[in-house]
A and B are shown apart, each in its own frame.
Chain A
Amino acid sequence: QQQVKQSPQSLIVQKGGISIINCAYENTAFDYFPWYQQFPGKGPALLIAIRPDVSEKKEGRFTISFNKSAKQFSLHIMDSQPGDSATYFCAVRSGTYKYIFGTGTRLKVLA
């Protein structure tokens, strides 16, 4: 069963535009919601994360919006740049050690 549903599968955005990636989860016991960024040939790296007691977290051009009642969270990339072109994964933490990842979104930012 897919516990984390991520959309869209791929996204093309013009330079300077806003990129939005969405994730939905089922289990209300999840307690931590990170986003990872992966460049080709590299391992994923933590980009930004949020806990369920806040509705938004912003770090530079990257913002997580969290809707606990709807069991959804999203990543917004403002002023998207070609260097942001990568694959993005949402994740949820189940228990102390288990992270469940979404299926990934391939973002391409056109120059």
Chain B
Amino acid sequence: NAGVTQTPKFQVLKTGQSMTLQCAQDMNHNSMYWYRQDPGMGLRLIYYSASEGTTDKGEVPNGYNVSRLNKREFSLRLESAAPSQTSVYFCASSRQGQNEKLFFGSGTQLSVL
């Protein structure tokens, strides 16, 4: 009964370093999403994948890349981290055709120094 699993939970990077945030869901959902959460700004969509093999930009895609590795996994990559990318990152998934409910992971807290 894992739901949406994100790794790592915490990460500290230096400016310019790269890293990949991993996300996996075991609910056989077609759609997956990456959000960032910043104080006073709510949740903002970075990228989403409507189904396996497709990805699309959200509200704030600059500085990020994504890969929908298979139906279960959707990763978010920071190629050259910047302090402005310090945030809490959430992965979410939903069933295609019934996209009403988003299931969120527990988040990754990222600090870029």
- One of A11-19, A40-48, A60-68 contacting the partner: A40-48
Do residues A98 and B102 form an inter-chain contact, with CB atoms below 8 A?
A: no
Chain A interface mostly: strand
Flag if A43 contacts B48 (CB, 8 Å).
no
Q: Which of B4, B40, B42 contacts A101 (CB 8 A)?
A: B42
Question: Would you call B107 and A43 a contact (CB within 8 A)?
Answer: yes
Taken together as a complex, chains A and B put the C-alpha atoms of A32 and B35 apart, in Å, by: 19
For residue A55, give the distance in angstroms from its CB to the closest CB of chain B: 19
B2 at the interface (CB under 8 A from A): no
A103 to B56, CA, bound (A): 23
**CB <8 Å contact, B42 and A6:** yes
- A25–B41 alpha-carbon span in the complex (Å): 15
Choose from A4, A36, A96, A104 the contact partner of B99 (Cβ within 8 Å): A96
How far is it, in angstroms, between the C-alpha of A54 and the C-alpha of B74 when the chains are bound? 35
Give the distance in Å from the alpha carbon of A36 to the alpha carbon of B44 in the complex: 14
Q: Which residues from chain A sit less than 8 Å from chain B, CB to CB?
A: 4, 6, 9, 32, 34, 36, 41-46, 49, 89, 93, 96-104
